Structure 1
Amino acid sequence: MKSIYQIAAALLLLSLKSYAQTTIPIETANYALVLQTDKNNYLSMVHFGKKLSQTADYKDIAGSFKFPDDNSGIYNNAYTPAGTWNLSEPAIQVTHADGNPSLDLKYLSHQTVKPDANTTLTTVQVQDPVYKLTVTLFYKTWNQENVIEQWVEITNQEKGPVVLQKYASANLFLSNKDFYLTSFQGEYLKEMQPQEEKLTQGIRTLDSKLGTRAMLLGTPNFMVSFGQPAQETNGMVLLGQLAWSGNYKLDFEVDSYKNLRLIAGINPYASAYTLAAGKTFKTPSLLYTLSDNGTGQASRQLQRWARKYRVLDGEGDRLTLLNNWEATYFDFDEPKLSGLFTDAKNLGVDMFLLDDGWFGNKYPRNNDKAGLGDWQENVKKLPHGLGYLVKEAKTAGVKFGIWIEPEMVNPKSELYEKHPDWVIRQPERPEKYYRNQLVLDLANPQVQDFVFGIVDGLFTKNPELAFIKWDCNAVIYNAYSAWLNKNKLPQSHLYVEYVNGLYSVLQRIRAKYPKVPMMLCSGGGGRGDYELLKYFTEFWPSDDTEPIERIFLQWNYSYFFPSITTDCHVTDWGKQPIKFRVDVASMGKLGFDIVVGHLTPNDLAFCQQALKNYTGFKDVVWHGDQYRLASPYENPVASVAYVSDDKNSAIMFTYLHTNRVMQSATERPIKLAGLEANKRYSVKEINLYPGTKSTLEEGKVYSGSFLMNVGINPDVNSRRASVVLQLTKAE
């Protein structure tokens, strides 16, 4: 029998163990997020910022702050629950199987593994001490890129179902004083418009309830700068995105001590999720990067990470193309298309893309009011089928791609007549259309099979098909799923299961067709997110292709996306000459949507030479580091440069975007960045219009130090509104 002293010693040891502080540093090369338990075993976030040189120092951070929390619970909880001691905005809110709406989460365990030299995965388990509900917090880091991916898995080990009322992906706590939020709002043809504001006490929410096309009115991208408005080259800044293709909610809450709490996840609006016993719910990821050298460094980190680890074939190649939409709209036939194949070859692009209007027979797709959902070639327009077009294009010397919109249906279609139960629609309400169409119910496995079959059928019949443009033009009205109702599942699952169903289809497509490039289109920027970009090589930023507007759009997208992902087409929009339009589109993945036969001889000659030049520098634009040199929001000119990894080459684009400047718009030189100071660079102006000469001294050599500290004047003015300079290491 143990003595009373042995029992006392054991109790003391147990007490010390239970009060032992656990510190969990989650580090990248330069920054750290630090979690720590308190004496009650609650898990808090105590640091988010610069990495400390001594790991042992992290344990002392929390004691340096004096934020009493008796009035509202623990402000800096790592994953704030609802219904017990906490009165702040929760990250998670549940109703247990017995109807109890409270949740308490205490630290249980953690582990850290390194899948490879650059990647670390830290998992932290917290658990309700009364109910068998476990939450696992995941933190995946990429060391050199300073990128963190964060998500949550909620496991129900109770005897009955638990209803998840709210289930955020991440709950961050930032103790720096004064925060400035830049969000990107807009509307159709005015996407990605930046709006910066100083956050004040209370909650600022960014959200979407559109179901699909989440980025039509706003985006799940955000920028938070610390202590000052966002700057390109200095200051601490956080860039982030919720990687989710449906309804999102981002809450930025400044608490009573002026700290910032960021809670990001699926929008809980109409989306309470019933989690059956023994099941686990996985949230989407919050992706973010931190920089103490401004937005430039942050975006380069995110772009580099995306190319290497997230975007499909992000370090690979892309196809330049000619699209027929502006040339023909819905009015085409085989001879007309064959002529366009010849135009594509003559222009010098890699591929011809056939857009909307090629399908439907009972209800031919001659406008956007019919045929969507009936994916058979229209026999009047294409009597010999797509296979004939693929062969004709190959004979002409170009590849062939096709447009589809497989998630949607026109009420005037055979698909709608046969399967009204496949359509998202309230049975007791009048149908409400967006662009004359409705959304198919991808929560339904039969619909998933149908959508997969569309793509599979195209490739099976036409194995040389080179490209797919995947469109999505409708939002979800009258949200209701006949399939969920039939299977006695809550209608509140629809918004979540629609997106999961879409991902399931794309996973099947990529398992069978891993390499075929696909463009993610959505009537203008509606789906540029890093979950979908696992399956797509690129996305369409906006239907607004007016080149001056595109300068601003592409500038804003570049904070979050590498140039290789952004489709930039030359069209007839705008009053600028063809040179200006081509130069602007050359800052991404170049394409054309023009009537080649309408070009003047000089315009055609310019486009042909510009495409040859593009072939020479596209690798730097797609895979190099981007530097935003002169902001169009602060100057009459915009200037952007791309620098190769080895610092041996660069390309610099400069544009005059206002006609109010009568004299030279670049009175002063523009300083470059990212070059190697001791290297010498030969500078040459390219993309010159036929019959014109550069005003710059051709082949002049400068040191990298000179170009970065003094700069170069591209001599942009009203007669030279667009200038492209190529820098090459001088031997």
Structure 2
Amino acid sequence: MKNSSIFYRGCLTVICITGLLGTGSACAQTVTIPVETAETAIVLQVAPNKDVNTIYLGKKLSNPEEYGGIPGVYQQGNNYSGMYNSAYTPAGSRNLLEPAIAVTHADGNNSLDLKYVNHSVTRVSDDVSLLSIQLKDPVYDFEVTLYYKSYYKEDVIEQWSVIEHHEKGNVVLQKFASANINLNAGSYWLRQYHGDWAKEMRPEETELTHGIKTLDSKLGTRADLFMPSVFMVSLNHPATEDEGSVLFGSLEWSGNFKTDLEIDPQDNLRIISGINNYASPYQLAAGQPFETPAFVYTFSSEGKGKASRNLQSWARNYKLVDGKGNRMTLLNNWESTYFDFNENKLSELLKDTKKLGVDLFLLDDGWFGNKYPRNSDHAGLGDWQENRKKLPNGIAAIAREAQSDGVKFGVWIEPEMVNPKSDLYAKHPDWVIKQPKREEYYLRNQLVLDLSNAQVQDFVYHVIDSLFIKDPAMAYIKWDCNSVIYNAYSVHLHQNQSQFYVEYVRGLYKVLQRIRAKYPDVPMMLCSGGGGRVDYGALQYFTEFWPSDNTDPVERIFMQWEYSYFYPAIASANHVTDWGKQPLKFRVDVAMMGKLGFDIVIDKLSGNDLKFCQNAVSTYNDIKPIIWQGNQYRLSDPRTESVASLMYVNADRSSAVMLNYLVNYRYDEGSKRPIRLKGLDSAKKYKITEINLYPTSTSVINSTSVYSGDFLSTVGFNPVVNSDRTSVVLKIDAVKE
């Protein structure tokens, strides 16, 4: 073997193999480039004609030198273009399938051909490596660089592209995907999600057939409202929690996205994901790089549970703000006051916050606006001055009182939006997204500000900055986004309206980058009328997200279950409210699936209810490190079983928390059989204790019994869930011998 080099510790192996695909008497050169993580490999190969193809994505081989021989074992018939498995498929030349990139050159030509120039590997850390592959059109001065960022321990890859040209004039990017992935199997099963307000993360699983299946959004903001960008693809049969090969994927972008899934004529699956090119031909000037957002994915040959733990670990280690750190438990005033509050009411709520034992009081919507006071959602949005009638001494006075009460203070904002009834709308109509000749159309009585405009970016940044100037100890921001974009038009962009959807999101990220540069550690919740903007493009600036405005605990079990496949528990803000008919204990136990919070009227709680909540906060403080940083295992699926059960296990498998909920309230339903535990050490001995009990109840669990990890994973344990015990929280601890 000639020209070979192997780079192991940086997580990426590069092998240059001469002559593997050579034909005839001439020895043509091929280059095989495996991107390896601990258990997965995606393998690229440069053909003799300098096309770059993906020849493998799956469980990695023990001998990387064998990757180059993978194409030789497939006999799938004609590949008319030689491009079915292109690593980044260009349009307009030989390609016959859905492209990853399509352009109109400065001279009007629509063809593109991308040939290998070189590649390089950068070792970012012991765990992270970055592969870059430069491609260039042999006719036009146009190039694309593909990036593959591999996270070795987490088995996660981020993939994106940078597009640049030096032609004489502008090039129009008609399509500009982030990633072009190829999978080979006998069949493919897509698990996707859909929803609406209060109906987030509803799964559907179907077998893919020939043609193109598209997952996309055209909403501009709140892009995940109807369909989030997350999905799973199982190979050969639907993966279970612990068995089957499955790929999880998601685009790190907070605006319009598009993922095409196409089975090619050879029955391989092509996945092309990126910014939605809907109404977005992008004029690219010479020498101006266009960087696409990252597409993040993980592959597991051990089922969905392993894939989800990969993503959760990656998010905590690399993507979330303070993903390995702490979070505050809060009390929110929204459910108790809505828009109707004043200083006296807030003063009482601050005392309730201290009484409850949580860390922080969050002041929600309604604290601003004077000429157009924010007494409902019809007015005031955009006028971020304290309402003098409600808060005559300003936010700073409330913050000082919170500090004297021994709690921290945070505030709700929605800085991207404006009500037509506002000073901001009257003074800066050119800052508002609306068609100049068309009737305005509202969602929640509001419109969106034009964040493609640098002046608007400055305004939004200063909204946040001014809050910290008034209260330097400001401890929390809840950032909401309740409207989508109608009648898309930017005064600022003049004739370049097709750039708008891209530049809006870029403008949002510029603001968030400025905020994080000045306030790197302040916790911020990503809220968008619920789960309308939950993606890793935004979450890199936030500590947590709000899954849904629907806080009915039974509904939340299903939502939080599905979110957990893609996001870690520490990122999911789960609040106890008065929604639903379940007892208070059930509501609290469900909220413990992630980051616990409260949105209830404390002074209306009975003595036992208050005592339970206080004890629950203390209990949660003890177990939250396991829930937030532990490995999550789903044990009993609420969609197929009467009991939903899941557990979190700490790193050394010495402690675990098991959460169990009754989701079927028909007669005599409950946990009739033992539930097999996962993630424990089979050689260790464990005791199981029921925790978070209501003050008047006693546990039926024998906390003195000792079980081996082998017994608990093979036979299982019954948490005794039934109509009298609708939620059960168990603490599992290794016995020291």
- TM-score, normalised via structure 1 length: 0.96
The answer to whether residue 235 in structure 2 is matched with residue 226 in structure 1 is: yes
Contact 1:19–1:41 (CA under 8 A) maintained in structure 2: no
Report the AA paired with residue 362 of structure 2: L
Report the AA paired with residue 313 of structure 1: D
Question: Out of 73, 76, 81, which is 2:85 matched to?
Answer: 76
Corresponding residue of 2:4: none
Report the AA paired with residue 223 of structure 2: A
Corresponding residue of 2:726: 721
The answer to whether residue 708 in structure 2 is matched with residue 703 in structure 1 is: yes
Report the AA paired with residue 582 of structure 2: Q
Corresponding residue of 1:309: 318
SS at match of 2:458: helix
- The Cα offsets for residues 254-306 of structure 1, whole Å up to 9 and x where unpaired, read as 11221100000000000110000111100001000010000000000110010
Shift of 1:124: 0.5
Corresponding residue of 1:9: none
Equivalent-residue separation in structure 2 for 1:82 and 1:287 (angstroms)? 24
Question: Out of 637, 642, 646, which is 1:636 matched to?
Answer: 642
Corresponding residue of 1:5: none
Report the AA paired with residue 710 of structure 2: S
Corresponding residue of 2:373: 364
Equivalent-residue separation in structure 2 for 1:377 and 1:112 (angstroms)? 53
Change (3 A) 1:69 1:89: farther
Corresponding residue of 1:441: 450
Matches within 5 A, 1:548-567: 548-567=554-573
Matches within 5 A, 1:587-598: 587-598=593-604
Shift of 1:648: 1.0
Corresponding residue of 2:537: 531
Equivalent-residue separation in structure 2 for 1:426 and 1:156 (angstroms)? 33
The answer to whether residue 555 in structure 2 is matched with residue 546 in structure 1 is: no
SS at match of 2:396: helix
The answer to whether residue 473 in structure 2 is matched with residue 464 in structure 1 is: yes
Contact 1:152–1:170 (CA under 8 A) maintained in structure 2: yes
The answer to whether residue 420 in structure 2 is matched with residue 411 in structure 1 is: yes
- The Cα offsets for residues 452-510 of structure 1, whole Å up to 9 and x where unpaired, read as 0000111012101110000000000000000001xx5x100000000000000000000
Once superposed, what is the RMSD of the aligned Cα atoms? 1.3
Contact 1:212–1:246 (CA under 8 A) maintained in structure 2: yes
Corresponding residue of 2:616: 610
Equivalent-residue separation in structure 2 for 1:152 and 1:423 (angstroms)? 32
Corresponding residue of 1:243: 252
Shift of 1:533: 1.0
Shift of 1:70: 4.8
Aligned pairs, how many? 714
Corresponding residue of 2:63: 54
Report the AA paired with residue 696 of structure 2: G
Shift of 1:68: 4.2
- The Cα offsets for residues 207-239 of structure 1, whole Å up to 9 and x where unpaired, read as 000000111000000000001112110000101
SS at match of 2:325: coil
Corresponding residue of 2:7: none
Contact 1:184–1:192 (CA under 8 A) maintained in structure 2: yes
Shift of 1:72: 5.0
- The Cα offsets for residues 577-618 of structure 1, whole Å up to 9 and x where unpaired, read as 000000000110000011111111111111111111000000
Contact 1:520–1:538 (CA under 8 A) maintained in structure 2: yes
Equivalent-residue separation in structure 2 for 1:419 and 1:313 (angstroms)? 37
Equivalent-residue separation in structure 2 for 1:324 and 1:31 (angstroms)? 47
The answer to whether residue 501 in structure 2 is matched with residue 495 in structure 1 is: yes
Report the AA paired with residue 414 of structure 2: E
Change (3 A) 1:430 1:18: farther
Equivalent-residue separation in structure 1 for 2:53 and 2:436 (angstroms)? 47
Corresponding residue of 2:633: 627
- The Cα offsets for residues 517-566 of structure 1, whole Å up to 9 and x where unpaired, read as 00000001011111111110000000010000000000000000000000
Shift of 1:699: 3.2
Equivalent-residue separation in structure 2 for 1:524 and 1:351 (angstroms)? 21
SS at match of 2:148: strand
Equivalent-residue separation in structure 2 for 1:152 and 1:717 (angstroms)? 53
SS at match of 2:528: coil
Equivalent-residue separation in structure 2 for 1:513 and 1:165 (angstroms)? 37
Change (3 A) 1:498 1:216: same
Change (3 A) 1:116 1:16: farther
SS at match of 1:152: strand
Matches within 5 A, 1:331-342: 331-342=340-351
Equivalent-residue separation in structure 1 for 2:549 and 2:306 (angstroms)? 29
Question: Out of 286, 292, 310, which is 1:283 matched to?
Answer: 292
Report the AA paired with residue 136 of structure 1: T
- The Cα offsets for residues 658-710 of structure 1, whole Å up to 9 and x where unpaired, read as 211x3351111111111111111121101111111111112322111111111
Contact 2:178–2:295 (CA under 8 A) maintained in structure 1: yes
Matches within 5 A, 1:380-399: 380-399=389-408
Contact 1:664–1:715 (CA under 8 A) maintained in structure 2: no
Equivalent-residue separation in structure 1 for 2:446 and 2:154 (angstroms)? 42
Equivalent-residue separation in structure 1 for 2:710 and 2:79 (angstroms)? 56
Contact 2:676–2:713 (CA under 8 A) maintained in structure 1: yes
SS at match of 1:19: coil
Equivalent-residue separation in structure 1 for 2:479 and 2:242 (angstroms)? 37
The answer to whether residue 644 in structure 2 is matched with residue 645 in structure 1 is: no
Question: Out of 402, 405, 409, which is 1:400 matched to?
Answer: 409
Shift of 1:19: 3.1
Equivalent-residue separation in structure 1 for 2:26 and 2:645 (angstroms)? 59
Q: Which runs of 5+ in 1 are unaligned?
A: 1-12
Contact 2:644–2:662 (CA under 8 A) maintained in structure 1: yes
Report the AA paired with residue 693 of structure 2: L
SS at match of 2:229: strand
Corresponding residue of 1:584: 590
Shift of 1:59: 1.0
Shift of 1:186: 0.8
Question: Out of 414, 422, 425, which is 2:434 matched to?
Answer: 425
Question: Out of 14, 17, 41, which is 1:32 matched to?
Answer: 41
SS at match of 1:668: coil
- The Cα offsets for residues 602-659 of structure 1, whole Å up to 9 and x where unpaired, read as 1111111111100000000000000000000110000010000111110000010121
Contact 2:79–2:266 (CA under 8 A) maintained in structure 1: no
Contact 1:688–1:694 (CA under 8 A) maintained in structure 2: yes
Question: Out of 693, 710, 719, which is 1:688 matched to?
Answer: 693
Shift of 1:93: 0.2
Q: Which segment drifts farther, 640-649 or 31-40?
A: 31-40
Report the AA paired with residue 689 of structure 2: K
Report the AA paired with residue 682 of structure 1: K
Shift of 1:187: 1.0
Equivalent-residue separation in structure 2 for 1:69 and 1:169 (angstroms)? 28
Equivalent-residue separation in structure 2 for 1:514 and 1:74 (angstroms)? 45
Equivalent-residue separation in structure 2 for 1:16 and 1:208 (angstroms)? 52
Equivalent-residue separation in structure 2 for 1:275 and 1:17 (angstroms)? 41
SS at match of 1:392: helix
Equivalent-residue separation in structure 2 for 1:239 and 1:696 (angstroms)? 38
Equivalent-residue separation in structure 2 for 1:299 and 1:572 (angstroms)? 31
The answer to whether residue 199 in structure 2 is matched with residue 190 in structure 1 is: yes
Matches within 5 A, 1:10-21: 19-21=28-30
